[in-house]
Amino acid sequence: MKLTAKTEIIKEFIGIADGIMITELRLHIEEDVVRFLCVDTANVALASAVLPIDAFTEHTFEPCIMAIDVTKFKACFGYGGKEISITRDSVESNMIVVESGGYRSTQTLLHDGTVKKDPNMPALELPGIVELQEKEFSNTIKTISAESDKLRFIIADNKFKIKTENEGPDNTERELLEDEVLHIRGDGNSMFSKDYLIGMTRQLSGDIKVHIGIDHPIIIDFMFAGGHGVGKYLLAPRIET
Amino acid sequence: MKLTAKTEIIKEFIGIADGIMITELRLHIEEDVVRFLCVDTANVALASAVLPIDAFTEHTFEPCIMAIDVTKFKACFGYGGKEISITRDSVESNMIVVESGGYRSTQTLLHDGTVKKDPNMPALELPGIVELQEKEFSNTIKTISAESDKLRFIIADNKFKIKTENEGPDNTERELLEDEVLHIRGDGNSMFSKDYLIGMTRQLSGDIKVHIGIDHPIIIDFMFAGGHGVGKYLLAPRIET
Amino acid sequence: MKLTAKTEIIKEFIGIADGIMITELRLHIEEDVVRFLCVDTANVALASAVLPIDAFTEHTFEPCIMAIDVTKFKACFGYGGKEISITRDSVESNMIVVESGGYRSTQTLLHDGTVKKDPNMPALELPGIVELQEKEFSNTIKTISAESDKLRFIIADNKFKIKTENEGPDNTERELLEDEVLHIRGDGNSMFSKDYLIGMTRQLSGDIKVHIGIDHPIIIDFMFAGGHGVGKYLLAPRIET
């Protein structure tokens, strides 16, 4: 097996799992796509990424599964190469060689049985949807998250509001009006932990589609790798008790 | 009450109190000015700032007093707005709403009785005076403060000297000659804690006027908000015993 | 004694000792050169630097020895002056005055008897030699050192290889081919602690000459002060047991 792609594309792809602090990642190398679907240790956040095989400049392989140590793998993003190649002698081999920028890194694959099972992506119909530029979304979360551990997202009356959820009256909010988003409809009102949100937003770019329900998970749909790849985050809500 | 001004102006104004680590600040909103006069917990440093009401682009109010939580208030400097608005429903209300850059922050005011009483600014006639660019003053303090906890300021023979005050002979000094300052006269020789000085110098800009006596406080007079506001720091000396 | 030189030159000269964490440095001020030869506390790394006297813009002195506190001395690199002057009243004086950028620092010299004796630079004939740009060398060490505490250097078949030395099969290497180095010959294969290497590489610039043996020290020859000064590092190997 040999897969080669631009460093930036591999970095964004693996970064999506890194955004929810996945350290052991099972990659599915299939006929048409390379993809993963993973859940964090606390079972609070899911990440999915699908990268078409034609995003790779070189791809010779039999379909296979391989589980990588994300921390070790990420080192290759510092090698300064324009491309990254991943070579595996056979689908039985437990080693890969990662090459980039003149560096050559030999990495043992993880034993598939020891890596957390792929979750099921729940089929949810969430009533509130807002499309907007990732910058508006990420900057708002980053700015107000200093003031609270929990953030509430509200879609109502064609406005999208993100607010801190402190005990007591002191809170901060930002309301995005209809003309500050690309598309908005329906209703939603749910609360989430800021730490997960901040990790996720670091991986986003361009336009994103956010789905919100009433005390339901948030789903963020986004593109990566210059529109070639399709990514999705799902984060469970925190429910007031 | 509604007060609106450029973010930069509000930031400089509140920053003057922050420079001596004031966390609870009593603002006096008067007919012609918004001002404060405060002293740090250790009663070592005083800060005063007076901002004319016409520095505000919007000002509708009855004169009142309000005590703010500086740490909470400072969050609005990160909202990215060009202006900051502060709204209070009435002089009895214990809440303000701070708005900037699309963000809206609701903040409970502090109970006036729990905030440290405004100090009296002592009337001192200090014999040594030097006017100079803030950069010369601040950079010298920053540079040599790494070498000592205490700094001595000396005005003598039309020269202004700042020196470390270590035990033993190893010391560093910088002497500013008559042509490196704007104006100098009289004599002074006093020693101060570097930590306060560093906090204060972060808030200064432009030309400043420094008053020094013999083992007496230092007074720093300065302008802020592009020359609209008048600020003053007073710092008690450390006396060799 | 008065010695004056460009700040950058003095900074590079003293930096060579700082690169192996020397805190007490014995300077030899001789007829034609100012030089030092020092060994770190653990006796693992040697540093040598020789700066011709004509690198100084001002030099009036009797030959002498003086031992400086490197940490204190380094403060003068922050004074912002283009030149640094070192004045000593006589060869018996235990004080120097360091002047730069308007600052004047008085420093007590260390008692010569308390400073670690100058080591002997061992006369080694190492069989492998590679000349290359410091950037190639330093960047490779910096990049892969995150993955291991020990790095192995190999010269063989006209190639220069730097690799991590982890237990187990996971390792990263970079191989510099004949056309990526300036000159290469012989054979070498030795392993070193990354911490020393990183400290040393921070002080290098331009082209360097690296000597490697089989489980022998590494020697790095380099120029500094724009080609005026001659520097040398020697680092003992770590030997697998």
Q: Please, which pLDDT band fits residue B241 given cuts at 50, 70 and 90?
A: low
> Given an 8 Å threshold on Cβ–Cβ distance, is A147 in contact with B80?
no
Q: Return the partners of chain B (3 or more C-beta pairs < 8 Å).
A: A, C
* Mean of pLDDT values over B120-133: 96
The two tokens of residue C227 are 């080609």
> Given an 8 Å threshold on Cβ–Cβ distance, is A78 in contact with C143?
yes
Q: Please, which pLDDT band fits residue B37 given cuts at 50, 70 and 90?
A: very high
pLDDT at A160 over 80: yes
Q: Please, which pLDDT band fits residue B240 given cuts at 50, 70 and 90?
A: confident
pLDDT at C1 over 80: yes
Among candidates C95, C104, C108 on the partner chain, residue whose Cβ is nearest the Cβ of B172: C104
Residue C50's pLDDT is what? 98
* Mean of pLDDT values over A132-146: 96
Residue C109's pLDDT is what? 98
Name the residue among A240, A237, A223 with its Cα closest to residue A13: A223
Is B175 within 8 Å of chain C by CB? yes
> Given an 8 Å threshold on Cβ–Cβ distance, is A72 in contact with C170?
yes
Among candidates C139, C144, C169 on the partner chain, residue whose Cβ is nearest the Cβ of A108: C169
* Mean of pLDDT values over A89-104: 96
Closest B-chain CA to A136: B102
Contact by Cβ (8 Å): C80, C101 = yes
Q: Please, which pLDDT band fits residue C237 given cuts at 50, 70 and 90?
A: very high
Percent of chain A with pLDDT over 90: 97
Is A75 within 8 Å of chain C by CB? yes
Closest C-chain CA to B176: C102
pLDDT digits (tens, 9 = 90+) for C11-63: 999 999 999 999 999 999 999 999 999 999 999 999 999 999 999 999 999 99
Residue A179's pLDDT is what? 85
Residue B178's pLDDT is what? 83
Q: What is the DSSP string of A41-101?
A: TTS-EEEEEEEEGGGSSEEE---EEEEEEHHHHHGGGGS--SEEEEE-S-TT-SEEEEEET
> Given an 8 Å threshold on Cβ–Cβ distance, is C170 in contact with A80?
no
Across the beta sheet with A183-185, what order do the strands follow? A64-69, A24-29, A33-39, A45-52, A229-235, A218-224, A207-212, A128-133, A183-185
Smallest CA–CA distance, residue B101 to chain A, in Å, is 9
pLDDT at C239 over 90: no
Contact by Cβ (8 Å): B144, B173 = yes
Q: Please, which pLDDT band fits residue A241 given cuts at 50, 70 and 90?
A: low
Distance CA A47, CA A126 (A): 18
Closest B-chain CA to A164: B105
Percent of chain B with pLDDT over 70: 100
Confirm or reject CATH 3.10.150.10 for domain C2-114, answering yes or no: yes
Name the residue among A70, A72, A56, A128 with its Cα closest to residue A105: A72
> Given an 8 Å threshold on Cβ–Cβ distance, is C173 in contact with A95?
no
pLDDT digits (tens, 9 = 90+) for C148-178: 999 999 999 999 999 999 999 999 999 998 8
Provide the CATH topology of domain A128-235.
DNA Polymerase III; Chain A, domain 2 (3.10.150)
Distance CA C13, CA C58 (A): 16
Percent of chain C with pLDDT over 90: 97
Mean pLDDT score across all residues of chain C: 96
Tell me the chain A residues in contact with residue C147 when contact means C-beta distances shorter than 8 Å.
Answer: 72, 75, 105
Is B79 within 8 Å of chain A by CB? yes
> Given an 8 Å threshold on Cβ–Cβ distance, is C146 in contact with A75?
yes
> Given an 8 Å threshold on Cβ–Cβ distance, is A105 in contact with C143?
no
pLDDT at A9 over 90: yes
Distance CA C114, CA A130 (A): 72
pLDDT at A240 over 80: no
> What is the H or E stretch that residue C238 is in?
none
pLDDT digits (tens, 9 = 90+) for B151-190: 999 999 999 999 999 999 999 999 998 889 999 999 999 9
The two tokens of residue B125 are 């006639």
* Mean of pLDDT values over A66-71: 98
Q: Please, which pLDDT band fits residue C241 given cuts at 50, 70 and 90?
A: low
Q: Delimit the CATH 3.10.150.10 region(s) of chain A.
A: 2-114, 128-235
**Which residue of A97, A106, A109 to mutate against C (max C Cβ within 10 Å)?**
A106
Mean pLDDT score across all residues of chain A: 96
> Given an 8 Å threshold on Cβ–Cβ distance, is B104 in contact with A168?
no
**Which residue of C71, C95, C97, C105 to mutate against B (max B Cβ within 10 Å)?**
C105
CB neighbours (10 Å) of residue B42? 11
More reliable by pLDDT, A241 or A216: A216
Residue B111's pLDDT is what? 97
> Given an 8 Å threshold on Cβ–Cβ distance, is C170 in contact with A108?
yes
